[in-house]
Amino acid sequence: MLKNDLILRAAQGEKTERTPVWLMRQAGRILPEYRAVRNSLSGFKELVETPQFAAEVTVQPVDILGVDAAIIFSDILVIPEAMGLTYEMVEKKGPHFPKTVRNESDIQLLKVADPSDLGYVYEAIKLTKKELDGRVPLIGFAGAPWTIFSYMIEGGGSKTFSKARRLLYSEPALADKLLDMITESTIGYLKNQVAAGADMIQIFDSWAGVLPTEHYSKFSLKYISKICDAINDVPVTVFAKGAWWALPEMKDINCRTVGLDWNMDPKEARKTLPNKTLQGNLDPCALYGSNELIKEETKKMLAAFGDHPHIANLGHGVYPDTNPEKVKYFIESVKELSSH
């Protein structure tokens, strides 16, 4: 039994005694405790792939920051890795794929991920659940197929994602083939996360905002929708960063919660998505401000969501140089200002 199930009730659209709050990237570089664990290892990948350490850093923000949910410490790129395309994490630069997918023969070298190849993630979930002992729910996650596809084609982050986008125009059938493989891999992976104990799932579409509207429906939302249809025993959140124009289409997909980034207007989203819980969407940079400012901005954010079912969060992951005390102050402000 969960002692604090606020976030699950909010996701189901129920009235809650206060607004639940958690943060994307809450387990990470902002916490000195996280850095201590990370520095004792060879690097990021060892941390992701060692269940006891992944579980330890997953629980830290619950103890230190007082958030209403933990999110398993992992990476969206474990999926391409399990499909046969390995990545490395380059310090201060981010992910890098030494080999990328360029054509049909590259795709033939890949496979639909066998969920058992990702056993370390399920093990970390089981350990985390034991450690949390029902204090708060645990969120599992995966990247949206389009975002994963982008990394596999580009080989890393990009300003334009022009290689990945070019393929949608030049070889749409090939793009669909790879997107299908990623989708199938992701469904198996998420089902296993739920079986291991994840109480909720979030799909991160980090590069949603680079696509034109028509392509977003065809090459992203279609596949996200397939994943949402397959995961029906826990609430699912879809966070498509930058895709404000896709909100009307999200009304019809099988997710319970839609995440908003800081450029999206909660008042508009409430009108567009009367049937969904909304999550977000304080600008992460507000946490560089004074406590008075943080409280003021939090108050404005809560007012903008009004009485619509809401899970408080930032509009993106917390930035690595943010002072943990400011993060804590934001969390306490949400709790204080939303209690009724």
Largest CA distance in the chain: 59
φ/ψ of 165, rounded to 5, equals -70, -35
The set of residues, in sequence order, having a beta carbon less than 8 Å from that of 286 and lying 6+ positions away, is 293, 294, 297, 330
CA angle 195, 200, 204 (to 5 degrees): 110
Tell me the β-bridge partners of 140. Answer: 201
CB 258 within 8 A of CB 224: no
Could you confirm whether 256 is annotated as catalytic? Answer: no
b/e code 205-224 from CB counts within 10 Å (16+ = b): bbbbbbbeeebbebbbbbbb
Examine the residue annotation and report whether 18 is marked as an active-site residue of this protein: no
Of 18, 29, 35, 135, which one is the catalytic site residue? 29
The CA R_g of the chain, rounded to the nearest whole Å, is: 19
Q: Which of 5, 34, 68, 75 is catalytic?
A: 75
Residue 75: active-site member: yes
* Cα torsion through 273, 275, 277, 278, rounded to 10: 0
270 is catalytic: no
The catalytic residue among 5, 38, 87, 165 is 38
Which of 25, 35, 106, 180 is catalytic? The answer is 25
Active-site choice (34, 87, 122, 151): 151
Annotated catalytic residue 321? no
Give the residue numbers annotated as catalytic, written as ranges.
25, 29, 38, 75, 151
